[in-house]
Amino acid sequence: MTKPGKFISLEGVEGVGKTTNLEYIADHLKSVGKKIVITREPGGTPIAEKIRGLLLDHGDEVLCKESELLLMFAARAQHLDTVIKPALQAGHWVLCDRFTDATYAYQGGGRDFLMQDIAWMEGFVQKGLKPDKTILLDLDVETGLKRASKRSEPDRFESEKKVFFEKVRQVYLNRAEAEPDRFSVVDASLSLSQVQEAIKIQLDDFLSKE
């Protein structure tokens, strides 16, 4: 798919500050004249938000890990078709709170699915469409979980053990190392203003290469 717009995703373990920094990124890009669409995964459309509920809420029935993986991609297919692709075609910059790197990290790292199976699903659903830039906010798991717990009650993922999130973080870091042009890793342990300054440097670098 040729796309006049740009696709930026924000990634990291729980509580690293993705949601907090999304508005900051949007404001910076708007200040240089970009038209922005802010969205999130899982979710971003009415149907995908219903799937998000199935994935995040604690239910009476245990969601098996195969269903979890398939639901992530079902929500993503709907999101791509309804929101992301049309916005990119219209020349907008799409800012997405998590995307497929999260599936590699959580379902591949956390749930031990084979990365090649996830890659097959990625190809089937995305047909080569990937973020142009991914900002990975990196933070030690304990601090992230502490920050997240101050904000709300733990959802189904946040109820996992620390070792689960250690594996998630490691996969994110491995992916960043493997694709240094797409990924920008930002130290999320710094103060919010320092984190935002670091994000701004990465965005300006990306903008300068447009």
Distance of CA 162 to the CA centre of its chain: 20
113 near ligand T5A, judged by CB under 6 A: no
d(CA 205, CA 57): 38
Distance, in Å, from the CA atom of 170 to the CA atom of 152, rounded to the nearest integer, reads: 25
Q: Which of 150, 180, 209, 210 binds ligand T5A (CB under 6 A)?
A: 150
**Token match 């373990």: residue?**
13
For helices 141-151 and 162-178, the axis angle rounded to 10 degrees is: 120
6 near ligand T5A, rule: CB under 6 A: no
And the tokens for 61?
Answer: 């029935």
136 binds ligand T5A (CB under 6 A): no
| Interface stretch with ligand T5A, choices 31-39, 77-85, 102-110, 116-124 (CB under 6 A) | 102-110
User: Does the footprint of ligand T5A cover residue 97 (CB under 6 A)?
Assistant: yes
- Verify binding: residue 19, ligand T5A, rule CB under 6 A: yes
Q: Do 13 and 144 contact (CB within 8 A), yes or no?
A: yes
- Contacts to ligand T5A by CB under 6 A: 12, 14-20, 40-42, 56, 72, 97-98, 102-103, 106-107, 147-148, 150-151, 157, 188, 191-192, 195
